Amino acid sequence: MRGVTDEVSGAGARMHDLVRRMYPICRSITGSGVRQTLDIIGEHLPLQRVEVPSGTQAHDWTVSDEWNVADAYIADKDGRRLVDFREHNLHLVGYSVPVRATMTLAELRPHLHTHEAHPDWIPYRTTYYHRDWGFCLSQRQLDALGEGPFEVVVDTTLQPGSLSYAELLVPGEVEDELLLSAHICHPSMANDNLSGIAVSVELAQALLRRQDRRLSYRFLFSPGTIGSIVWLSEHAVGLPNIRHGLVLTGLGGPGPLVYKRTRHGRRPIDRAAAHVVSRLDGDVRDYSPYGYDERQFNAIGFDLPVGRLSRTPHGEYPEYHTSADDLDFVRAEQLADSLGALLRILEAVEHDAVYRNLSPYGEPQLGRRKLYPTMGGRAASDEVMAMLWTLAYSDGSTSLLDIAERGEVDFTQLRAAATKLADADLLERVEL
């Protein structure tokens, strides 16, 4: 297998390019922007696309009417656009119903939303499940509006159509699946949700190139909440194959990696992710019933072991859900760093194994087998230490991840050490 470093080199720039390409599109939980986004993802991956008609029942939810935007603006009496959807799609509240009216500032004001702490930023607002309309603008734009009257146009359609999602199964030797899910319903924001899409695409391509996949990998690109609930309701039969999972989001911003555990908290994905993320000075947190689609996957009725990987999570960075979550906020190096961590987590889930030390009566003589530096006296290298840890704990029931959890050595190094020691007949693999 190619090393993690090979797989990540060049990936940061590719992922940032993909984020840049998807950034201008106005996405929502339904509509043409979602389809355009899936078209772009589909240029990179052989996706299976699904359209679910409005009105479809999915557990406690119903697929809403489809929303599309032709135009939206607030103009002065001379027709000059003061707030313009075509300049930034965050200017229009998501799922706004159509409006065509002349209004004073006093009439318009209840429909205007600004960001209190940052007068230059446009906030992100939606009204999916309550029919309403509104504009988001910077405080500076609001201060400069004047008293009106204004021409207010929201040229949208909200009518029966469908919800779009896509998935990709990358088959492995076994039917056990690892689910990777990214939401695709946010308009022009780079970290929330384009970073998750870009990392998923790059990861799927890396997995498709591999010849030695043991696990099967299922990628899901769906609108938040309603999309994952619809997908879960349509996949009841296949759900038992899902043995591990991760929601991928917010992977391009600054700040350390953050892993959010599954509801159970001690599944293999939790152990692998906690090991990798803490070795990279990231943060590991317990499950909570708030956040992204991990809420749906972990719900009692499904009980899927799906954690969440991000960098600084939603709500904890000021740019979150604003126009400042832009192409400068997300950086190629941060995307690449996240992908590297993700590949290491998947390696630990896929390749955890138990070995038995075949030379357990004292330390075997590694030097004789050319596994130990011939010059004594120097401190042991990481490579040697990984072999010593593997030999010390491989009693036929302790796995490499168990050893990695002690925190002294990376799983990747333990795996390499185990392979070398097995090649030297010092270890044998135990099939459990």
In terms of Cα–Cα distance, which of 381, 224, 399 is closest to 294? 224
Q: Which is nearer to Zn ion, 192 or 202 (CB)?
A: 192
The dihedral sign for the CA sequence 195, 290, 116, 156: positive
CB of 399 to Zn ion, least distance (A): 37
The dihedral sign for the CA sequence 108, 111, 115, 121: negative
Q: Which is nearer to Zn ion, 192 or 319 (CB)?
A: 192
Q: Would you call the peptide bond into 289 cis, given omega within 30 degrees of 0 as the criterion? A: no
What's the chain's Rg over C-alpha atoms? 25
CB of 29 to Zn ion, least distance (A): 12
CB of 186 to Zn ion, least distance (A): 5
Helix axes 196-209, 332-351, angle to 10 degrees: 50
CB of 124 to Zn ion, least distance (A): 7
Residue by residue, what is the 3-state secondary structure of 285-339?
Answer: ECCCCCCCCHHHHCCCCCCCCEEEEECCCCCCCCCCCECCCCCCCCCHHHHHHHH
CB of 13 to Zn ion, least distance (A): 25
Pair 322, 121: CB distance under 8 Å: yes
How many Cα neighbours within 13 Å face the side chain of 228? 24
∠ CA 255-258-260, nearest 5°, is 155
CB of 229 to Zn ion, least distance (A): 17
Interface segment toward Zn ion; rule CB under 5 A; list 51-59, 68-76, 174-182, 191-199 = 191-199
Q: Does 347 bind Zn ion (CB under 5 A)?
A: no
Which residue's CB comes closest to Zn ion? 192
Interface segment toward Zn ion; rule CB under 5 A; list 186-194, 299-307, 356-364, 378-386 = 186-194
Q: Which is nearer to Zn ion, 136 or 366 (CB)?
A: 136
Q: Which is nearer to Zn ion, 192 or 352 (CB)?
A: 192
d(Cα 82, Cα 254) in Å, to the nearest integer? Answer: 33
d(Cα 178, Cα 124) in Å, to the nearest integer? Answer: 32
d(Cα 121, Cα 115) in Å, to the nearest integer? Answer: 6
Q: Which is nearer to Zn ion, 21 or 125 (CB)?
A: 125
CB of 60 to Zn ion, least distance (A): 21
Interface segment toward Zn ion; rule CB under 5 A; list 57-65, 174-182, 185-193, 230-238 = 185-193
CB of 317 to Zn ion, least distance (A): 12
Site string for Zn ion, 137-176 (x = CB under 5 A): ----------------------------------------
**Which distant-in-sequence residues (6+ apart) come within 8 Å of 61 by Cβ?**
225, 226, 229, 230
Give the 3-state secondary structure percentages of the chain, helix then strand then coil, rounded to 5. 35, 25, 45
Interface segment toward Zn ion; rule CB under 5 A; list 85-93, 106-114, 184-192, 269-277 = 184-192
Q: Which is nearer to Zn ion, 122 or 178 (CB)?
A: 122
Pair 179, 125: CB distance under 8 Å: no
Interface segment toward Zn ion; rule CB under 5 A; list 45-53, 190-198, 205-213, 342-350 = 190-198
Task: With CB under 5 A as the rule, give the number of residues binding Zn ion.
Answer: 1
Interface segment toward Zn ion; rule CB under 5 A; list 25-33, 188-196, 277-285, 336-344 = 188-196
Q: Which is nearer to Zn ion, 315 or 367 (CB)?
A: 315
Q: Which is nearer to Zn ion, 55 or 318 (CB)?
A: 318
CB of 205 to Zn ion, least distance (A): 25
Among 167, 177, 192, 202, binds Zn ion (CB under 5 A): 192
Phi–psi pair at 92, nearest 5 degrees: -100, 130
CB of 192 to Zn ion, least distance (A): 4
Residues in contact with Zn ion by CB under 5 A are: 192
